[in-house]
């Protein structure tokens, strides 16, 4: 391989012993203008991208939810209609767009400047800006879900941080110090995003005719956990052979996804097809996570989803994962328990440990841990 920049990732070698795997920094490969795809990024046929179909707003894609109408002050009739729409899309897709979400446009623009500012730094400056990698490889600047030295790699670089509870550093220095305002801006965004998640969790419970607090009661503001992950997919020499992010479901209650610009890339698995979602301008995406699947006794299912890459275009997405504290015990809502109970009570921390143990898995492997 060319003169290289590498993420050093602790994982297991062929003999099962811990090794440091040298994972190429994808952005640096793209900066070198590679014309071919290095072998470690070539995917097996089965999960290669070509089986996708494209859908946009108003076609067969998931309808856009208008947050104005979900507001408690909205006209009763409008609210009831929006709740019905929400129930339908959440059940059928497990993923949907929201508009009129109340996040000021200038905040989203500043966030974009911060994120792009960080990724425009040299590799050395990024390392200096972030300070340290996480002990496990799921926080900090680098790579997630590298399990073995010979694993096929996604075409992605990442920056992951814990944004709540506030000031929970876990002893890590994962917040960039350059750009200077990165943390302040991201924390402002997280504050707004969290309000949206709370409103949605209340609305989802009502949409399923449950007590409004059924899901929210796990997410006490001072204790709940917000992890933010910036996904950067640089231009890729062979999008037909590579994957930006492999098929997975999210280890969250809800995930709120923002992307910059209109370059698509998110695909959802529905009725045996990968469906490429076109982002309406200024919309955010909401993804049902594994914990909401458990709480709703499978009435809502966390969708398998993945991200593809483009030949000449880069793409950024910001995923915000919203979760109760690690000691919380999650179980199907009691009111749903009149029929068959399909999920066991799980401790958040135990489930997440399992989730990280099986990732990168084949789609929805982790949830089996919670199935009765």
Ligand X SMILES: O=C(O)CCC(=O)C(=O)O
Positions touching ligand X (CB under 6 A) are 229, 231, 245, 250, 257, 265-266, 305, 307, 317, 319
Smaller CB separation from ligand X, 21 or 317: 317
Minimum distance, C-beta of residue 251 to Fe ion, in the bound complex (Å): 9
Q: Could you tell which of ligand X, Fe ion, none binds residue 309, using a CB distance below 5 to 8 A set by kind?
A: none
Q: In the chain, what are the helix, strand and coil shares in percent, each to the nearest 5?
A: 30, 25, 45
Stretch that binds Fe ion, among 66-74, 87-95, 144-152, 242-250 (CB under 5 A): 242-250
Q: Tokens at residue 187, please?
A: 């924390």
Q: Is there binding between residue 290 and Fe ion (CB under 5 A)?
A: no
Give me the least distance between CB of 52 and Fe ion, in Å please.
17
Q: In angstroms, rounded to a whole number, what is the distance separating the alpha carbons of residues 329 and 251?
A: 14
User: Residue 125 CB: number of other CB atoms within 10 A?
Assistant: 13
Give me 40's structure tokens. 């470690």
User: In the bound complex, what is the minimum distance in angstroms from residue 342's beta carbon to ligand X?
Assistant: 24
Cβ distance to ligand X smaller for residue 64 or 341: 64
Non-local CB neighbours of 3 within 8 Å, separated by 6+ positions? none
Applying CB under 5 A, among 250, 264, 293, 314 the residue interacting with Fe ion is: 250
- Which one of ligand X, Fe ion, none interacts with residue 30, CB within 5 to 8 A by kind? none
97 and 285 in contact (C-beta within 8 Å)? yes
Those residues with Cβ within 8 angstroms of residue 187's Cβ, 6 or more apart along the chain or in another chain: 163, 166
Structure tokens at 357: 């143990």
What residues between 177 and 216 interact with Fe ion by CB under 5 A?
Answer: none
Using CB distances below 5 to 8 A depending on partner kind, what does residue 254 bind out of Fe ion, ligand X, none? Answer: none
Residues 6+ apart with CB under 8 A from 287: 94, 95, 250, 252, 254, 255, 256, 257, 302, 303, 305
Name the phi and psi angles at 276, rounded to 5.
-85, 125
Q: How far is the CB of 359 from ligand X (least distance, A)?
A: 10
* Binding segment toward Fe ion, per CB under 5 A, in 181-189, 217-225, 246-254, 340-348: 246-254
Q: 207 or 275: whose CB is closer to ligand X?
A: 275
Residues that bind Fe ion (CB under 5 A): 250
């Amino acid at each position: 391989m060319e003169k290289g920049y590498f993420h050093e990732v602790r994982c297991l070698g062929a003999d099962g012993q811990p090794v440091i795997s040298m994972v190429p920094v994808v952005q640096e490969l793209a900066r070198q203008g590679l014309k071919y795809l290095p072998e470690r990024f070539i995917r097996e046929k089965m999960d290669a991208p070509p089986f996708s179909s494209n859908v946009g707003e108003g076609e067969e894609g998931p309808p856009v939810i208008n947050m104005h109408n979900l507001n408690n002050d909205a006209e009763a009739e409008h609210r009831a209609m929006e709740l019905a729409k929400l129930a339908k899309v959440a059940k059928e897709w497990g993923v949907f767009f929201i508009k009129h979400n109340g996040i000021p446009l200038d905040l989203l623009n500043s966030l974009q400047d911060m994120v792009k500012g960080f990724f425009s730094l040299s590799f050395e400056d990024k390392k200096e800006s972030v300070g340290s990698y996480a002990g496990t490889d799921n926080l900090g600047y680098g790579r997630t879900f590298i399990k073995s030295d010979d694993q096929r790699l996604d075409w992605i670089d990442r920056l992951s941080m814990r944004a709540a509870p506030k000031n929970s550093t876990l002893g890590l220095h994962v917040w960039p110090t350059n750009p200077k305002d990165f943390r302040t801006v991201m924390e402002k965004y997280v504050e707004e995003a969290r309000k949206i998640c709370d409103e949605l969790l209340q609305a989802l419970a009502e949409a399923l005719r449950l007590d409004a607090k059924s899901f929210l009661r796990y997410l006490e503001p001072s204790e709940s956990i917000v992890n933010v992950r910036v996904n950067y997919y640089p231009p890729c020499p062979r999008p037909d052979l590579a994957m930006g992010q492999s098929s997975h479901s999210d280890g969250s209650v809800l995930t709120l996804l923002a992307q910059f610009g209109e370059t698509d890339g998110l695909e959802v698995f529905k009725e045996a097809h990968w469906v490429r979602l076109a982002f309406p301008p200024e919309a955010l995406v909401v993804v049902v996570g594994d914990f909401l699947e458990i709480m709703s006794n499978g009435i809502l299912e966390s969708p398998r989803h993945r991200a593809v890459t483009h030949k000449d275009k880069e793409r950024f997405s910001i995923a915000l994962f919203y979760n109760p504290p690690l000691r919380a015990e999650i179980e199907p809502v009691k009111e749903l328990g009149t029929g068959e109970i399909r999920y066991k009570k799980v401790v958040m921390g135990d489930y997440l440990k399992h989730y990280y143990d099986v990732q990168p898995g084949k789609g929805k492997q982790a949830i089996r841990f919670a199935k009765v």
